[in-house]
C-alpha cells in the first residue's frame, strides 16, 4: 500500500533540508541560539543583560561596548537596578560625506532591570571590562533564606 501522506514527516524533512542548506554556507545555528546580542538601532531594550545568581549575590552582566565610562551611571533601589550612560559614535567633527559605514548604534540610553530579590544598596559593585558592564549585587539580609534546624524528638 502506498505510504500515507504525513504532514509531520514532510515538515521534518523540510526542516532538515533547510538546516543542511544553512550548514553548507557555515551558518548552522543550534535551536536555542539567541540572535539578539548586539545593540541594534531599533527601539529595543539596551543594554541587553544576563542575570546570574548564587546564594548571597545577584550578578548582572550587560552587553555595552564603547561606553564613555564617565557617563556610566548605576543606581539601585530595593528590587531594581537602573543603568544609564552614553555610547559615542562617530565624532561630530567628521562630515557626513566622509562616513563610509555607520552600523554601530550610538546615543544615550537608560534601562531598569527588576531583580529577583532585594539588594543591599550599600555593597553594590560595578566593573566595566572588555565592553561588558558587570554588577555585583549582594542580596539584602531580609532576602536571604534562613536555615531552620529540625529538632528530632
Partner 1 sequence: MAEKTVATTSGRQVASERERTRTQERYVSPPVDIYETPNELVLLADLPGVAPNDLEVRLEDDILTIRGRAAHLRADAPVYQEYELVNFFRQFELSEQIDQGKVSADLKHGVLTLHLPKTEKAKPRQIAVQVS
Residues at the interface with partner 1 (CB under 8 A) = 3, 6, 8-9, 13, 16, 20, 23, 26, 28-29, 33-34, 36-39, 45, 48-54, 59, 61, 63-67, 69, 89-90, 94, 98-105, 116, 128-132, 134
Q: Which residue reads 533547510 in cell numbers?
A: 18
Q: Which residue, 44 or 152, is less far from partner 1 as judged by CB?
A: 44
Q: Which residue, 30 or 153, is less far from partner 1 as judged by CB?
A: 30
Closest separation between CB of residue 50 and partner 1, Å? 4
Grid coordinates representing 75 are: 543606581
Grid coordinates representing 134 are: 558587570
**Is 95 in a helix, a strand, or coil?**
coil
Closest separation between CB of residue 76 and partner 1, Å? 17
Closest separation between CB of residue 16 and partner 1, Å? 7
If phi > 0 it is left, if psi is from -120 to 50 it is alpha, else beta; for residue 26 that is left
Contact of 85 with 109, CB cutoff 8 Å = yes
Amino acid at each position: 500500500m502506498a505510504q500515507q501522506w504525513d504532514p509531520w514527516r514532510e515538515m521534518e524533512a523540510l526542516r532538515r533540508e533547510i538546516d543542511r542548506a544553512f550548514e553548507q554556507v557555515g551558518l548552522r545555528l543550534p535551536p536555542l541560539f539567541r540572535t539578539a546580542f548586539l545593540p541594534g538601532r531599533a527601539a529595543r531594550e539596551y543594554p541587553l543583560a544576563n542575570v546570574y545568581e548564587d546564594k548571597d549575590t545577584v550578578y548582572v552582566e550587560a552587553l555595552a561596548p564603547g561606553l564613555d565610562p564617565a557617563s556610566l551611571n548605576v543606581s539601585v533601589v530595593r528590587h531594581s537596578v537602573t543603568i544609564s550612560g552614553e555610547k559615542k559614535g562617530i565624532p561630530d567633527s567628521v562630515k557626513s560625506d566622509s562616513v563610509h559605514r555607520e552600523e554601530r548604534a550610538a546615543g544615550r540610553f537608560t534601562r531598569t532591570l527588576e531583580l529577583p530579590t532585594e539588594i543591599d544598596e550599600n555593597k553594590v559593585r560595578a566593573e566595566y571590562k572588555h565592553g561588558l558592564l558587570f554588577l555585583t549585587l549582594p542580596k539584602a539580609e531580609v532576602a536571604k533564606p534562613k536555615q531552620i534546624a529540625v529538632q528530632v524528638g
